[in-house]
Structure 1
Amino acid sequence: MTSTNPTINAVDLFCGVGGLTHGLVRSGINVTAGIDLDPSCRYPYEANNDAKFIERDVNELTSDEIIAHLGGGGFSLLAGCAPCQPFSSYSQSGRSKKSGKDWQLVSSFGDLVAEVQPDLVTMENVAQLASHSVFKRFLKSLKGYHVHSSVVECTKIGVPQSRKRLVLLASKLGDFGLDRIDRMASPARTVRDEIGDLPKIRAGEQHSSDPLHTACSLSEMNMRRIRASKPGGTWRDWDPELLAACHRKATGATYPSVYGRMAWDVPAPTMTTQCFGYGNGRFGHPVQDRAISLREAAMIQTFPRSYKFLEEGETVRFSRLGRLIGNAVPVRLGEVIGETLQQHVEAVTRSGVSPSGLSGRLF
């Protein structure tokens, strides 16, 4: 193959609402299918991406099912972000007591790589996974691949939030340029850059032209608290009568950002599944007396402002949408991963390397 613009066909495991898929597509990769167990992901995934959503448990997938979506010529890519709940900041207690089932999805991903043998593999995950034995076992499934992994600080690639993620890139084609992801840089983006021009809304209000631009209502006490909060400040700025019970405990002193406002001109904190709640972290709007809206959270995750999460007439459910947005791979991170793989493939094909031709294994 001698084209300088080779085709990469991809399947996205654990695709969620399409953060990684959308980023890969932006880089020029042809994502043909996304696979996830959660039916709530189907509409946003298919409404925003020219790819098929397959509602399946990855543990039950066969290699032939994946290969069927990687055919059509070109290079093959198996991508994904296996959920790792034991490392969630909301499930730290008792983590050492977790059973092996917590890691089954990472192991299943590795098993599928070993069976499918795609030309390329990428995995994005929590940074802590790099030091866990399950990651070492995953690396064993990559026998015959050139592998590069590193922790990417998302603020350095243009994501307006502090978010560190483990990114693994593997290729059968060689190792040229896989470490380029460590040197990629984009101008830093801030909260103001990302959401500063969105229409003003009040706590509990939904904007008329964008149902996702809606903010949780606040109790009278929380309204008093957010009015007393400074951008980038802490609850220590409040008068004593505003303190919550958790703040008065010794352990509460270690969580200064809870009930905090974001600051305009720095990146946001990490978006979590609870990012719509004022009391769940530094998720207060910099100047408006409310928590950030679901649209603002999605944009801080670098989803386009036009990304569709709700079907026509669908009711906003904060817990469901917060989970889908907070668990997503930032679109910009997916784009950087895709750009790295594209340049890697273009370089190796100039030297005459050809795709493995997975489609030929089916027919």
Structure 2
Amino acid sequence: MERIERIQIGKRAKRKVYAVDLFCGAGGLTYGLEKAGIDVRLGVDIDPACEYPFSANNAAKFLLKSVEDLKAEDLERVFPKNGIRLLAGCAPCQTFSTYNQKATPDDKRWWLLLQFARLVEEISPELVTMENVPRLQDQGVFEEFLGTLQNAKYHVHIDIVNCEEYGIPQHRQRLVLLASKLGPIRLLSPGEFGAERTTVRENIADLPPIRAGEMEETDPLHQASILSDLNRKRIEASKPGGTWRDWQKTLVADCHKKKTGKTYPSVYGRMCWDEPAPTITTQFFGFGNGRFGHPDQNRAISLREGAILQSFPKDYEFVPPGQPIYKKTVGRLIGNAVPPRLGEVIGLSIIRHVDTWMKNRRRTSAGASANA
């Protein structure tokens, strides 16, 4: 399916599907859904740092509220009465991520998915979508969520998506769930979406070069973290795709000299120009936090580069103009986001599903009239 066809699909269904985005974060999912032609009316999140990027880049309103405190009427009032309703969201995934080995069901965030299920039961929207880490499938809380959908007679489709196959320039696997009361539903394949694999070079090579600790004048988000003298020597000794095992012993961290540390080669590394990036985490702006070294500049990738590799557009705003930029906060917003391009894939899959349902209804209605 070519790009022009994707745009036309979105236009055909414009204002027919209305959405609320729970756990909306900085707006990655909403941005993609809106690009697909879905009218997102509201984003909900408990993090105040999400309000500006969500509102500045999307047409939807933002509600600062915990999903635990959200009532059905809070959402029902934003859905038009004559529309098809979509309840979307990505419950916090940190508790289920392979990067978090300490998370347990004692973590309050573990159970937020059941708050999503509660709202599905109370509102009974025609459509539901959820994005999360693949490991969620192995948890009982996910089985409970599925049970809620199945008991409510939803058709459910689950996919484990390799994001790079959809043109997102990073190695990132995500669980995508689509559910519909209108009939069977599925995610568009990469071929149907018209995706092509893309690389680090194709996405960030044209950004102005900067040094560690510097900020580019015209884009404050294009700034790189300061490097210690030791880390400067380490990155100078690093090559794209290599590991700390390539260094002189004097540069290797003490923890990696131990037997328990020798199995962790994917830190203190550089990205490769002609490959997708590694998974963009909330700590991508730090050289020692993963393979986040720039392919040839002696620094970690900038906040802007991380956002682009998450498939955010190059002008996506995360901080109000003139306000200070806190790397930990912006890094968290970017790393936790649903890649906007994946949001577009989800949105267009929903649009196609609704188009098919509407065509079938018209055929059934025309057939009934002919037989009358």
TM-score exceeds 0.5:
yes
Structure 1 equivalent of residue 13 of structure 2: 5
Structure scoring higher RCO (CA < 8 A, sep ≥ 6) equals 1
**2:144 paired residue among 137, 140, 148:** 137
Deviations 1:39-74 (A, max 9, x none): 101011000001101000000111111111111532
Alignment CA distance shift 1:35-1:266 (3 Å): same
Identify unmatched segments of 5+ residues in structure 1.
354-363
1:235 and 2:227 matched:
no
- Tell me, what secondary structure is at the counterpart of 2:33? helix
Structure-to-structure mapping, 1:253-332, within 5 angstroms: 253-332=262-341
Structure 1 equivalent of residue 120 of structure 2: 113
CA displacement at 1:17 relative to structure 2: 0.4
Structure 1 equivalent of residue 188 of structure 2: 180
CA displacement at 1:319 relative to structure 2: 0.7
Q: Which segment is superposed worse, 309-318 or 35-44?
A: 309-318
Deviations 1:132-191 (A, max 9, x none): 11111001111211110111010110110011100000001000x424357645110111
Q: TM-score, normalised by structure 1?
A: 0.93
Q: TM-score, normalised by structure 2?
A: 0.91
Matched AA of 1:110: A
8 Å contact from structure 1 (residues 17, 45) kept in 2: yes
1:348 and 2:357 matched:
yes
CA displacement at 1:84 relative to structure 2: 2.8
Structure 2 equivalent of residue 358 of structure 1: none
8 Å contact from structure 2 (residues 105, 111) kept in 1: no
Matched AA of 1:239: Q
The CA distance in 1 between the partners of 2:107 and 2:325, in whole Å, is 35
CA displacement at 1:316 relative to structure 2: 1.4
The CA distance in 2 between the partners of 1:233 and 1:305, in whole Å, is 28
Alignment CA distance shift 1:100-1:39 (3 Å): closer
8 Å contact from structure 1 (residues 4, 350) kept in 2: no
The CA distance in 2 between the partners of 1:319 and 1:249, in whole Å, is 29
CA displacement at 1:11 relative to structure 2: 0.4
Structure 1 equivalent of residue 131 of structure 2: 124
The CA distance in 1 between the partners of 2:117 and 2:310, in whole Å, is 27
8 Å contact from structure 1 (residues 163, 270) kept in 2: yes
Q: Which segment is superposed worse, 65-74 or 154-163?
A: 65-74
Matched AA of 1:211: P
Deviations 1:82-108 (A, max 9, x none): 003222344203x4x532634221000
Structure 1 equivalent of residue 32 of structure 2: 23
The structure where helix makes up a greater share of residues is 2
Structure-to-structure mapping, 1:60-209, within 5 angstroms: 60-93=69-102, 95=103, 97-99=104-106, 101-142=108-149, 143-175=152-184, 177-181=185-189, 184=192, 186-209=195-218
The CA distance in 2 between the partners of 1:244 and 1:111, in whole Å, is 47
The CA distance in 1 between the partners of 2:202 and 2:279, in whole Å, is 16
8 Å contact from structure 1 (residues 152, 182) kept in 2: no
The CA distance in 1 between the partners of 2:323 and 2:187, in whole Å, is 43
The percentage of counterpart residues that share the same residue type is 54
Matched AA of 2:142: F
The CA distance in 1 between the partners of 2:13 and 2:53, in whole Å, is 29
The CA distance in 1 between the partners of 2:221 and 2:325, in whole Å, is 7
The CA RMSD measured in Å over matched residues stands at: 1.5
The CA distance in 2 between the partners of 1:280 and 1:289, in whole Å, is 15
Identify unmatched segments of 5+ residues in structure 2.
1-10, 363-372
Deviations 1:297-318 (A, max 9, x none): 0000000000001111111111
- Tell me, what secondary structure is at the counterpart of 2:313? coil
Alignment CA distance shift 1:164-1:146 (3 Å): same
Structure 2 equivalent of residue 360 of structure 1: none
Alignment CA distance shift 1:23-1:4 (3 Å): closer
Deviations 1:104-125 (A, max 9, x none): 2100001100111011000000
8 Å contact from structure 1 (residues 4, 349) kept in 2: no
Deviations 1:222-275 (A, max 9, x none): 010000000111011111111111211112211111100000000100010101
Q: Which segment is superposed worse, 161-170 or 82-91?
A: 82-91
The CA distance in 2 between the partners of 1:141 and 1:12, in whole Å, is 19
Matched AA of 2:62: F
1:47 and 2:56 matched:
yes
The CA distance in 1 between the partners of 2:299 and 2:107, in whole Å, is 40
